[in-house]
Every structure is written in C-alpha cells, then in structure tokens.
Amino acid sequence: MDAKDERAALEFALQGLPLGGVRYFERVGSTMDEAAAWLKEGAPNFALVVAEEQFAGRGRLGRRWFTAPKASLAFSLILREFESPRPALLTGLAALAVCEALESRYGLHPQIKWPNDILLQGRKVCGILTEARWQGERPVDVVIGIGVNLTHPAVPPAATLHFPATSLQEHLPHLGEEEIERDRFPLLALILARVLLWLPRVQEEALIQNWEQRLAYRHQSIQVLGALEDPDSLLGEGTLEGLTPEGNLLLRLVSGETQAVDFGEIRVRPSMNGGV
C-alpha cells in the first residue's frame, strides 16, 4: 500500500477512539520529538503521533531506538488532562496496556521488566519512554512513547544490545511477516483503548495489582545497577517483592529489610549468584 492507503488503514483502525488528533509520518526522526513540537503548538489532549520508520528514535537513558519501515509499531501519545499522577505510574499504565493488548489479541504472556520494558520469554519486545513537562512539582503534560518490535527486521544485531531482544513474529509462527505488519494498526488501537480504560484509574490500587501480576523476576533475586555495562555501579541487590503504591520497585534485602527503588537512571537484571 502507498502512504495514502496506509493513512486510510490507520484512520479506519482508530475510528471510535476519542483522540485529540493524529499525525502520521512515513519516516521521521523521532515521534517523541514530533510530539514535543506539537505540544509547543498547543496540541490537544490525547493527540497521537505515529511513524512507519524512525531514524533517530529515543529510548530510556538516551539510548537510540531505530525503527525499520513497518517492522515496528512506533508512536507517541500526548496527555494533558490528568490529576497530577507521578509519571512513573503513567509508565506502568502504558506497560500494562501493551501487555493486555498482546494477551487479548495474540494469546501471548508478556511480562513487565520494571520500569519500562515488555518481555516475551525473557527478551525485550517493547520499550516505553515517558517524558513530562513540569510546573513546580506538578507535571502539566506528558508524552508516552511506545515502540513494539513486530517483525524480525526490528531486532538489532545481538552485538549492539545491552539486553536480549525479540519480535512478535518470533512468537507467532502461524502468522507471516505481512500479516503481522497489516495487524499493526488494529494492535495500536487496542493498546490505546486499554490506556483509555486505565487512565481514570491510574492512582487506584488495581493498577499496581495488575502491574505486579505481570512483573518480571518477581520473587527472584535481582540486581539494581547504575549501568548494565559497569558491574561496579551496583546500587542494590535483593528479592523482588513487588511494587509500592507509587510504582517504585520493592526489594527485600539480605538483612530482611525492604528497600524502595525509585525511577531514575537505573537498570534491573536477574542476579548472577542465584539468590539472596
């Protein structure tokens, strides 16, 4: 399909969703940058930026995120009207929405690697980036960027990765590459519908409970590091107990005490020594 037909397919999939507007790009540097520019122009609440290809996408901690044409689902969603939730909770909400969409549409069993990655069988299939604009201690608007690896070309070479990656195609052998690509807009619509469903409940206990149910490494020993490539950056190690009401990670240390780990410049990985 040409760009006009792709845009029509996108509009058809999104019909019925109360979006503030949609900007669709065949190729763009970053949907996050486009969303930030739209905000400066006065973008409405629940405005959406979608790209078929990104050549300067951004991941968490400033990492580059490359999106091959149609091989990934790449979009950024603008939120402007909410009751001042912590951006951490919005990251968890987005992760939960992606998980529920993959579960209901494909029967998959994704897990959330805190704070912002979605795993299939222990490998990353989706990354989430949340950026907020603040007024004092209150976020006035938030952009949530989501990238889902759909087909094999979306997965970078293993030598360039800090964590193993995968694509939906690898876990859906009954579907061909073209079928998965054609399904990307209905998948997008389903993710957005789940975001809409959870958004009014973002500060309820149910969000944390459903997030915890899909939490990777729960009840396992994990390490919290400042940098995965630097073993000397270890910030803490313990058994992953769950989440705090604020969406922080809750560790049980060797001493038996619990420690809450806040969002920030950190990484989580399974402990190498098997337990604490």
CB of 106 within 8 A of CB of 169? Answer: no
CB of 82 within 8 A of CB of 176? Answer: no
pLDDT at position 230, please? 58
CB of 210 within 8 A of CB of 180? Answer: no
CB of 249 within 8 A of CB of 243? Answer: yes
> In this structure, which CATH number among 3.20.20.70, 3.30.930.10, 3.40.50.1240, 2.60.40.10 belongs to the domain 3-213?
3.30.930.10
Question: Which ranges of the chain would DSSP assign to H, the alpha helix?
Answer: 3-14, 31-40, 87-106, 168-171, 177-182, 184-198, 205-213
The CATH 3.30.930.10 domain(s) of the chain lie at 3-213
> In this structure, which CATH number among 1.20.1370.20, 1.10.1040.10, 2.30.30.100, 2.170.190.11 belongs to the domain 221-270?
2.30.30.100
pLDDT tens per residue across all 276 residues of the chain? 677 889 999 999 999 999 999 999 999 999 999 999 999 999 999 999 999 998 876 654 445 656 778 999 999 999 997 766 787 899 999 999 999 999 999 999 999 999 899 999 999 999 999 998 887 777 889 999 999 999 999 988 777 777 889 999 999 999 999 999 999 999 999 999 999 999 999 999 999 999 999 999 999 998 887 655 555 667 778 999 999 999 999 999 888 899 888 865 456 777 755 443
The CATH 2.30.30.100 domain(s) of the chain lie at 221-270
Q: How far apart are CA 157 and CA 220, in angstroms?
A: 28
Q: How far apart are CA 207 and CA 164, in angstroms?
A: 27
pLDDT at position 231, please? 58
Residue 28 host element (H or E) = none
From the list 57, 65, 69, the residue with the least C-alpha distance to 29 is 57
Token code pair at residue 152: 């094999």
Q: What is the phi-psi region of residue 16: left when phi exceeds 0, alpha when psi lies from -120 to 50, beta otherwise?
A: left
pLDDT at position 53, please? 92
pLDDT at position 61, please? 46
pLDDT at position 64, please? 60
